[in-house]
Structure 1
Amino acid sequence: MVRCREWERSQYRRAFASRGVWSNAGRPGLRHFGNVPEIEETRTGRRPPMGPTIHDVARLAGTSKSTVSRYLNGQQVKKATQDALEKAIAELNYHRNAHARRLVMNKTYTIGIVIDDISNIFYSGMIKGIEAVARRNGYNCIFLSWTSNFDKETSFLNYLYEGQVDGLILASFRKRNEEDVRAIRDAGYPIALIGDHCELEGVFSVDVDNAAGIEEVVTYLHGIGHRRIGYISGQNDLSASKYRYKGYRRTMEALGMPVREEWVVESDWTNQGGYEAMRRLAGEADVTAVVVSSDEAAIGALRALKELGRSVPRELSVAGFDDIPVAGWVDPALTTVRQPFRDIGTLAAEGLFRKIEGTENTPRSHLLRPKFIVRDSCGPAEWA
């Protein structure tokens, strides 16, 4: 076997020598395996031309290689220098060698964003916030959806273990059990949670104070005379749904209003779910106002009331939660609670990059206050 390989290698050398491209001494940049080159050259003996390098950019821009490197890595440079570098990069059609950069820095320069449903409108603002921070740090984002492929969000921790990403943002709004959160913390990798204000020490998370948002809605309705306030909830496995319902019940009791079983109907936070829940609620409950725990469901609820011939807000007041873009365009415009989606994404990404760079030793949770938005879908109780 050894003799056979030596014969093959000698034949390979002769073939290259007959074409005028072989040199035992080698040439700069030509890698060898034994005496056999790994890179095939042209018949002229010359290697294919290389693209422009960082040295070329520095020379054309009249600056140093280190300055070019700082600029490419997202660090601040003088405005005049930035203009010169952008002009040089465009003129040379320079593209950085991402593979070489990863090897030198021992980083992938990629973060993963794990979401449960990429089509969900709630994620758009949040993703914009994450991407802006990622670009500022010279990183790319990959999006991983686990709805149809994985039973648990934590399945994607393998992307970190295998070195495919430098950090993960777990953006599912489903309620995480303590075992999963503990596994995330104990993994010791850069991870940020969104949608669960976890109280476990050592876990970085960002969420909205969902209970406080619903409390504002119920308090407002109470203030304009409503005492029989119904509620359309979300799914039980959603963290936000759990806290919003808690806010509803707590505020109703604090203000001395009853909470009857027939006043609370579960939905799945879709237009169809809200439509079906409102038809059931309107037929069984004697309420003057309904708090719907998501705008998507609230829009379906408005459709149901229109079909039933119920005037909003003259016969029934309706409020939502999220302030999705269409909330201000439906008729009547929807009173709702605005979530700071972009701020959520920004804070989560900033926290993740602090962990990647090792500058945050004591992770902490952020609980953001939503904003109550009054529009046309709610009116005084005497109208009802």
Structure 2
Amino acid sequence: MARPKTGPSIYDLGAELKLSPGTISRALRNCPEVSAGTRAKVRDRAAALGFELRSPCPRRINIGAVLLGPPAGAEPLLSYATNVLAGMQDYATRANVTISLLQFDADAFDGRDVVRTLRNRGADAAVFFNALQGSRFYNQLNDQRFPYCNVMADDGGENRRLLTIDSRRDACRAVEYLLDLGHARIAVALHFPDNDTTAKRFLGYKDALSKARIPVDDGLVLAPSEAACRGSDEFDFGYHGVEVLLSRASPPTALVTMSCEAAIGALHALRQRGIAVPRKFSVLAHDDSRYAEFTSPPLSVIRVPNRRLGQTAAEWVHRLSLGEQLPAWPDEPWMHAELVVRESTGSPRPGRLPGHSPPNERQ
């Protein structure tokens, strides 16, 4: 800590500047949790009073990977997030910066002093995951010019710092693929419907049905409001979602999920019911993971370049934290999804699903 040769103490300096001794001490040590303006004011006044100011020790930039979870506490660290984090770490290793993993309740985060919270956690910049539509904390970040960006989802507002792909187009393509296979009743599982990416994928789902002149059946749209699915994580959501769908009078023959985790839960439920995949029922997931290749059967997916998005996000917020003026957010040829057909999708076979009986046939 910097100490004066003679004269006033940090307590005197604090009284003069109306700051606590702790804040004075942190400002003299150039700690990032104290704003740059306050640090400059304290250090300038301390120098004028004869304090012996030590040069601050070199410190690496720290980028916070901020995971915004649901209020119910369901696990937000899905396969897409682990891949984005891996990409961020790739960049951190090359650029000699650090990555810290921060997790907050999405609703509660809106009511915080966000910049102070991030600074207190040692973050010089932030990459946000799982942002909800209508989030208000972005106003604080913009007003205080805190370096940040979002991966795949943001608040849906106008001042967007978003690295993403065209989720609506890619979801439409996924449903069109299932329609081309001969599926007419295609369900969709929306675990986090307020998430911007999920909302866009749902629009893509409806686009594909509209082009095929198939009306949207609300009974095939799964959301956490379903009693059987409420409060569950992605694996449980997929598992119980299949049970809900098979209870319908006219069940679907295919399911599109927003994650591999939900798809794995669905596969487990179908196997327990004796429903062969893909002969009797098809499952297609968004995102991809290493274990999606090793499910039984291997999952067909819409593969998103999450690792590369993570690398780009870390680079951009790092450059912002260094004061660079960046002209625009990247929109490059690699920023698109890829349909990867494995063995969980196929043409539907006629006949009633095993273990299914319409409600009016149950005792």
1:307 Cα shift? Answer: 1.3
For the residue of structure 2 that corresponds to 1:381, the secondary structure is coil
Change (3 A) 1:301 1:102: farther
Which amino acid counterpart does residue 56 of structure 2 have in structure 1?
L
Q: Which amino acid aligns with 2:187?
A: G
1:371 correspondence with 2:338: yes
> 2:131 aligned to 160, 163, 174, which one?
174
Aligned-pair CA distance for 1:147? 3.3
| Aligned residue number for residue 15 of structure 1 | none
Identical aligned residues as a percent: 24
Specify the alignment match of 2:259 in structure 1.
294
Distance 1:373 1:139 in 2: 34
Asked if 1:124 is matched to 2:82, the reply is yes
Match of 1:381 in 2: 348
Partners of 1:198 and 1:118 in 2: CA distance: 17
The letter for the 1-side match of 2:93 is: R
Q: What is the one-letter code of the residue matched to 1:103?
A: P
Is the Cα–Cα contact under 8 Å of residues 169 and 192 in structure 1 kept in the other structure?
A: yes
> Does residue 114 in structure 1 map to residue 66 in structure 2?
yes
Displacement of 1:354: 2.1
Partner of residue 272 from structure 1, selected from 236, 240, 243: 236
Name stretches of at least 5 consecutive residues in structure 1 with no aligned partner: 1-30, 35-99
How many residues are matched?
Answer: 288
8 Å CA contact retained: 2:154, 2:160 = no
Measured against aligned partners, the alpha-carbon deviations of 1:274-298 in whole angstroms (never above 9, x if no partner) come to 1101011012133222222221111
Contact 2:67–2:77 under 8 Å retained in 1: no
Task: Tell me, yes or no, if the aligned pair for 1:288 and 1:316 is still in contact at 8 Å.
Answer: yes
| Residue 226 of structure 1 pairs with residue 183 of structure 2 | yes
1:159 shift after superposition:
4.8
Deviation (angstroms), 1:109: 2.3
- Cα distance between partner residues in 2 of 1:111 and 1:320: 30
- TM-superposed CA distance for 1:154, in Å, is 6.2
Shift, 1:372, TM fit: 0.9
State the alpha-carbon separation in 2 of the partners of residues 213 and 283 from structure 1: 29
Q: Which amino acid aligns with 1:343?
A: R
CA contact (8 A) 1:146 1:152 kept: no
Contact 1:208–1:370 (Cα < 8 Å) also in 2: yes
For 1:58-115, what per-residue CA distance to the aligned partner results, in whole angstroms no more than 9, with x for missing partners? xxxxxxxxxxxxxxxxxxxxxxxxxxxxxxxxxxxxxxxxxx998266x652222211
- Verify: 1:255 aligned to 2:212, yes or no: yes
| Secondary structure at the counterpart of residue 312 of structure 2 | helix
Residue 56 of structure 2 corresponds to: 103
The 1:381–1:179 alpha-carbon spacing in structure 2 relative to 1, beyond 3 Å, is same
CA distance in 2 between counterparts of 1:102 and 1:282 reads 68
The residue that corresponds to 2:361 in the other structure is none
Tell me which moved more, 353-362 or 155-164: 155-164
Quote the offset at 1:363 in angstroms. Answer: 4.1
Residue in 2 aligned with 1:17?
none
> CA, structure 1 residues 187+176, in 2 after alignment: closer, same or farther (shift >3 Å)?
farther
User: Which residue of 131, 136, 139 maps to 2:97?
Assistant: 139
Asked whether the 8 Å contact 1:269–1:294 carries over to 2, the reply is no
Quote how far apart the aligned CAs of 1:357 are. 2.5
Matched residues in 1 for 2:140 and 2:252: separation? 45
Q: Return the alpha-carbon distance in structure 1 between the equivalents of residues 76 and 187 of structure 2.
A: 31
The Cα of 1:342 is off from its aligned counterpart by: 0.7
Note the 1:1-384 alignment, pairs <5 A: 33=5, 103=56, 109-116=61-68, 119-147=77-105, 150-152=108-110, 155-159=113-117, 164-170=122-128, 172-177=129-134, 179-196=136-153, 200=157, 202-267=159-224, 270-284=234-248, 285-364=250-329, 366=331, 368-382=335-349
Seen in structure 2, the aligned counterparts of structure 1 residues 154 and 308 have a Cα distance that, compared at 3 Å, is same
TM-score (norm 1): 0.66
Q: Deviations over 1:313-372 (max 9, x none)?
A: 111112111112211111111111112111111111111122122333444265831111
Q: CA separation in 2, counterparts of 1:201 and 1:303?
A: 41
For the aligned residue pairs, the C-alpha RMSD in angstroms reads 3.1
Contact preservation (8 Å) 1:203, 1:365:
no
CA distance, structure 2, for counterparts of residue 139 and residue 153 of structure 1: 29
1:219 Cα deviation after fit: 0.8
Counterpart AA for 1:213: D
So what's the TM-score if we normalise by structure 2?
0.70
User: 1:198, CA displacement in angstroms?
Assistant: 6.0
Q: Distance in 2 between matches of 1:160 and 1:101?
A: 26
SS of the aligned residue for 1:314 comes to: coil
Larger Rg: 1
Give the CA deviation at 1:383: 5.5
**Which structure carries more helix by proportion?**
1
Q: Distance in 2 between matches of 1:253 and 1:269?
A: 31
Q: What secondary structure sits across from 1:192 in the alignment?
A: strand
Query: Aligned partners of 2:292, 2:178: CA distance in 1, in Å?
Result: 18
Q: Supply the distance in 2 between the matched residues of 1:208 and 1:324 (Cα, whole angstroms).
A: 18
Q: Which residue of 2 aligns with 1:18?
A: none
Seen in structure 2, the aligned counterparts of structure 1 residues 382 and 163 have a Cα distance that, compared at 3 Å, is closer
Query: In the aligned structure 2, how far is the partner of 1:344 from the partner of 1:199?
Result: 19
